[in-house]
Structure 1
Amino acid sequence: MKRNPEILAPAGSLEKLKTAIDFGADAVYIGGSKLNLRAFADNFTPEQIKEGVEYAHSRGRRVYVTMNVFPHNGDLEGVEDYIRELESLGVDAIIVSDPSIIVTAKEVAPKLEIHLSTQANNVNWKSALFWYNMGVKRIVLARELSLKEIKEIRSKLPEGCELEAFVHGSMCMAYSGRCLISNYMTGRDANRGACAQPCRYKYYLMEEKRQGEYFPVVEDEKGTYIMNSKDLCMIEHLKDVVEAGVYSLKIEGRMKSSYYVAGVVKSYRQALDTYLQDPKNWSFNAKWMDNLLRVSHRQYHTGFYFGETNKQVYEDSSYIRDYDIVGIVREYNSETNMAEIEQRNRVFEGDKVEVLRPDGDNFYITLDDMKETNGTKIEVANRAQMYFTIKCGTELKPKDMLIKSKGDN
């Protein structure tokens, strides 16, 4: 029986896991305490994995755990016990890049589903078939593939071999993320989870005998960004990705905010649901792009999908951050029209804010009659994660996110 494609969201913390699920993700991927490529994320403890799995499973969703570093000998110590623990916690799959982890998992947890990480740079059908025959259930395709190549890979694989591909988020300048620059410049090994992102630095050229004379590799007066990549965004071409044979539509961003997770997942959820309702007549709706333009991002691009690799370079390393999350609704009393808000960024009485929730279009409200929870009138909520109340005739729901343009006074 053919299943509908899944939306796979990043979850760098338990809060982000719950946000992803609430806003429509079919599955999330997380990092545990060992062997994942986001060493500086708020990685999950066993207790948090257990809670996250229970939250997801109770809602019919799935949880995958990344184990996608390239392990050295010392990294393999305790791997057997860690894999057994993940299986006992009920995770649905592990994402791996090295044969040592695959072999170990097959030995100690033969029923645990294995996904091959994009770090393994799978770019052809024969290698995909090799990994499938080794016991890998899903291939996370290298980002360097075109839609044409993906279609060919899909056509030559058994039906039981699933394909997953990134559709949104940051891109890496190195082939499938195999970068050595961070290790060379800072001692932080990107392939063991500690990338310092030196590709985002500003660079000049200096000839060794002319110390202090800097020659720009010209792109603009600020320097050069020849290693900088734009962000991937395939929402306008979601139909093409699905019909190329991709089952899992992956969103990058375990280091990103809960607001990023909510906004991006909502847009792709709406786009995919619309496609599933009428695949033949699906067309892009500009409304889906609104949330993607509000969350923190770099210029968007279609990556390698259409063979435009030379257009991927971005002339700046900074993010576009035009909106902030200012609060999350915790409670709403329909009798008093009072909402209790948890503050996330400074916000003032009378501010007009946008409400982001899983269903329907975003809408605006004004923050009226702001008070401390003890009833004291306030003009500004300026303490981190303080609770305050507002009067709002429009019914709000717990977990609604309040966002605000930085250009609004």
Structure 2
Amino acid sequence: MSAGIELLAPARDASVAIAAIRCGADAVYVGAPQFSAREAASNTISAIQQIIDFARPYYVRVYVALNTLLSDDELARAEKMIGQLHRIGIDGLIVQDVGLLELDLPPVPLIASTQMHNATIEKVQFLEAVGFSRVILARELTLEQIREIRRQTTIELECFIHGALCVGVSGRCCMSYAIGGRSGNRGQCAQPCRRRYSLKDRHGRTLAEDRHLLSLKDLNLSGHLAALIDAGITSFKIEGRLKDAPYVANTVGFYRRRLDALLAEKGLRRTSAGLSELAFEPDPARTFNRGFTDYGLAGCRSHVASMDSPKSMGEFVGTVAGVEKSCFLLDGDHDLHNGDGICFFDTQRQLAGTLVNRVEGRRVYPQKMHGIRAGRRIHRNYDRLFCAKLTDKAAERRIEVTMHLYETPEGLALSGRDEDGNEATVAIVTATQPARNEEAARKTITTQLTKLGNTLFVCRDLRMEIKNVCFLPVSQLNAARRELIARLMGARESSRPRPTGAIRKNSVAYPEKHLTYLGNVLNRKAEAFYRRHGVETIEPAAESGLDLSGRIVLTTKYCVCLELELCTGPRSGAAAEPLILEDEDGRAFEVRFRCGPCGMEILAP
């Protein structure tokens, strides 16, 4: 699919997709009408068609996520839906359930969801062998692991570079299902990782109390883009199919600028066309975030958690230096404005917030003063003026075109060439009446032929090769311009890259001979797929109704002991003793530590 470097943006609906494309996304991914891993972000076939229609002129690709586990009675519906999606022209289908590969699928490129746990060379090699066009790599991988996968495979590699982090290994987390019946593998995760927990040892001694011990900061790999390109990544993915348009516009705009600078430096190209002109200065800190981490991409694994709150803190603006009856004084200069939202932690370590009513220098008059004390660190979690810029007018995206007006035996011809090399020409029949004022006539010609404001194009250069300028009516110039643009649009569509891909039904050996419930086999077709590829024993998925008591429900490379500076395992050379995580409802989860590779396993009560 890829012939360059792709910036891939999330879209919960058509309006967000259009905002992402305007701000510079090379591709967008949206939820299918059903069976998406974000159940609340599904889209109708007609909505997806609307996105495709907007994306096509820019050569922006549209991928659809149909990446949940399916039951036997859902497979026929999924098969029909995939046929509909193929007919409207999607560029790729993101899937998790291998049962789909046993169906009669159209030749749509398949993308292996990160829910398939694409974390080893052997797994990626297998997916390539059975016909996947791309794999979305596990978020847990390091740069060196990505480099090694690239060295031993040729399939396209996609990785997450920004957004919320699941603490559990994607596709292998059953915690939500185990405690409440809502499965992340079915698009219904209740996010138990964002709840409060206490950490205790085997003797009941409390090591950490009532904190969000499993809540991670948001991923931000903006400082590692060059290294990821060098490691072999071709698609850079922003997480956030539940996020609003301002968040997506801001994040896409930020990474578009970063990537464009790198591509120019490295002599690489992007996969879509058009220059985005932003009406704002992008800054990820000014929209939703829990603080940022690179999640150990380059090695360091500490300071990755957001233990005080799973909510957006926004940007730090200052510390309260003094409090008066109806206002507080910040300790330095700031740029708070009326209508901004601010937040802080109160004496109970709860995140509290209010709105700003008025600002006078360093004095801030909030809607309410409750909880604001000297020494409080104030964050802005809603920037009114910044977000006001992130509307449908936040960006304009235009495709560059050069024009050439020249003489022919029949009169004049106007040709155009766009930034992708597409060309079109129209003839202009002219009278022989010379222009009375040649300079004014040339100016009129230039003005009318380059007036492309209501099109997708912007003219960067008009070259005129005319010896004797004749009078050309404005209406004739306008008609020629419109015809040229129409033909250019037709040429763009004719040469638009078409995705190709097909599953190869073979018997290549799967890397494992035995699958537990973490193999996520929920239907007979998935079982048949694995049997054909040499798997000998298959336990059904947790969602089949398994009793998960005492079994692993979450695996993570994150270590709560390392984060709390309680780690003893690596220094002593032995694994740390198991601990207990107790949630808000009194449920006790055993935590086992993996002190070689570093990480944890959490077992259901």
TM over 0.5: yes
2: distance between equivalents of 1:103 and 1:139? Answer: 19
Aligned to 1:277: 264
More strand per residue:
2
Deviation at 1:216, TM superposition (A): 4.8
Residue 182, structure 1, aligned to residue 179, structure 2: no
Extract unaligned runs of 5+ from structure 1.
209-213, 281-287, 327-344, 361-396, 399-409
2: distance between equivalents of 1:75 and 1:256? Answer: 28
2: distance between equivalents of 1:346 and 1:258? Answer: 24
Q: 2:133 aligns with which of 133, 137, 162?
A: 137
Deviation at 1:40, TM superposition (A): 1.6
Deviation at 1:265, TM superposition (A): 0.2
Relative to structure 1, the CA distance from residue 353 to residue 319 in structure 2 (aligned partners, 3 Å threshold; closer, same or farther) is closer
Partner secondary structure for residue 172 of structure 1: coil
**For each residue in 1:281-334, what CA deviation from the matched residue of structure 2 results, as whole angstroms up to 9, or x when unmatched?**
xxxxxxx9961100100110001311333432222222124599x9xxxxxxxx
Aligned to 1:252: 239
Aligned to 2:301: 309
Q: Which has the higher contact order (CA 8 A, sep 6+)?
A: 2
Aligned to 2:59: 60
Q: Whose radius of gyration is greater, 1 or 2?
A: 2
Aligned to 2:311: 318
Deviation at 1:177, TM superposition (A): 4.4
Question: Are the aligned partners of 2:200 and 2:207 in contact in 1 as well (CA < 8 Å)?
Answer: no
Q: Write the mapping of 1:4-403 to structure 2, written as runs, cut at 5 A.
A: 4-41=4-41, 43-104=42-103, 107-109=104-106, 111-158=107-154, 161-204=155-198, 216-218=206-208, 223-279=210-266, 291-316=283-308, 317-321=310-314, 353-354=385-386, 355-356=389-390, 357-358=394-395
Question: Are the aligned partners of 1:140 and 1:165 in contact in 2 as well (CA < 8 Å)?
Answer: yes
2: distance between equivalents of 1:119 and 1:314? Answer: 23
In percent, how many aligned pairs have the same letter? 33
Question: Are the aligned partners of 2:196 and 2:213 in contact in 1 as well (CA < 8 Å)?
Answer: no
Aligned length: 321
Relative to structure 1, the CA distance from residue 176 to residue 2 in structure 2 (aligned partners, 3 Å threshold; closer, same or farther) is closer
Extract unaligned runs of 5+ from structure 2.
268-279, 316-335, 340-354, 359-382, 398-452, 455-605
**For each residue in 1:111-163, what CA deviation from the matched residue of structure 2 results, as whole angstroms up to 9, or x when unmatched?**
211100011111122221111111100011111110111011111113xx100
Question: Are the aligned partners of 2:201 and 2:207 in contact in 1 as well (CA < 8 Å)?
Answer: no
**For each residue in 1:353-403, what CA deviation from the matched residue of structure 2 results, as whole angstroms up to 9, or x when unmatched?**
34453479xxxxxxxxxxxxxxxxxxxxxxxxxxxxxxxxxxxx99xxxxx
Deviation at 1:94, TM superposition (A): 0.2
Relative to structure 1, the CA distance from residue 290 to residue 320 in structure 2 (aligned partners, 3 Å threshold; closer, same or farther) is farther
> What amino acid maps onto 2:27 in structure 1?
A
2: distance between equivalents of 1:318 and 1:83? Answer: 36
**For each residue in 1:165-219, what CA deviation from the matched residue of structure 2 results, as whole angstroms up to 9, or x when unmatched?**
00000111111242212112222111100011111011236999xxxxx97541x
Deviation at 1:2, TM superposition (A): 8.0
Relative to structure 1, the CA distance from residue 99 to residue 289 in structure 2 (aligned partners, 3 Å threshold; closer, same or farther) is farther
Partner secondary structure for residue 148 of structure 2: helix
1: distance between equivalents of 2:164 and 2:288? Answer: 11
Relative to structure 1, the CA distance from residue 54 to residue 199 in structure 2 (aligned partners, 3 Å threshold; closer, same or farther) is same
Relative to structure 1, the CA distance from residue 83 to residue 226 in structure 2 (aligned partners, 3 Å threshold; closer, same or farther) is same
1: distance between equivalents of 2:30 and 2:47? Answer: 11
Relative to structure 1, the CA distance from residue 112 to residue 300 in structure 2 (aligned partners, 3 Å threshold; closer, same or farther) is same
Relative to structure 1, the CA distance from residue 2 to residue 99 in structure 2 (aligned partners, 3 Å threshold; closer, same or farther) is closer
Relative to structure 1, the CA distance from residue 318 to residue 51 in structure 2 (aligned partners, 3 Å threshold; closer, same or farther) is same
Question: Are the aligned partners of 2:83 and 2:105 in contact in 1 as well (CA < 8 Å)?
Answer: yes
TM-score computed with the length of structure 1 as normaliser: 0.72
1: distance between equivalents of 2:114 and 2:281? Answer: 26
2: distance between equivalents of 1:227 and 1:240? Answer: 28
2: distance between equivalents of 1:66 and 1:162? Answer: 17
Question: Are the aligned partners of 1:182 and 1:189 in contact in 2 as well (CA < 8 Å)?
Answer: yes
2: distance between equivalents of 1:352 and 1:114? Answer: 41
Q: Over aligned residues, Cα RMSD in angstroms? A: 3.2
> What amino acid maps onto 1:5 in structure 2?
I
Deviation at 1:257, TM superposition (A): 1.0
**For each residue in 1:211-248, what CA deviation from the matched residue of structure 2 results, as whole angstroms up to 9, or x when unmatched?**
xxx97541xx6x22221111100111111111110000
Question: Are the aligned partners of 2:219 and 2:293 in contact in 1 as well (CA < 8 Å)?
Answer: yes
2: distance between equivalents of 1:150 and 1:16? Answer: 30
Relative to structure 1, the CA distance from residue 346 to residue 134 in structure 2 (aligned partners, 3 Å threshold; closer, same or farther) is farther
Partner secondary structure for residue 16 of structure 1: helix
Relative to structure 1, the CA distance from residue 241 to residue 207 in structure 2 (aligned partners, 3 Å threshold; closer, same or farther) is closer
Relative to structure 1, the CA distance from residue 185 to residue 24 in structure 2 (aligned partners, 3 Å threshold; closer, same or farther) is same
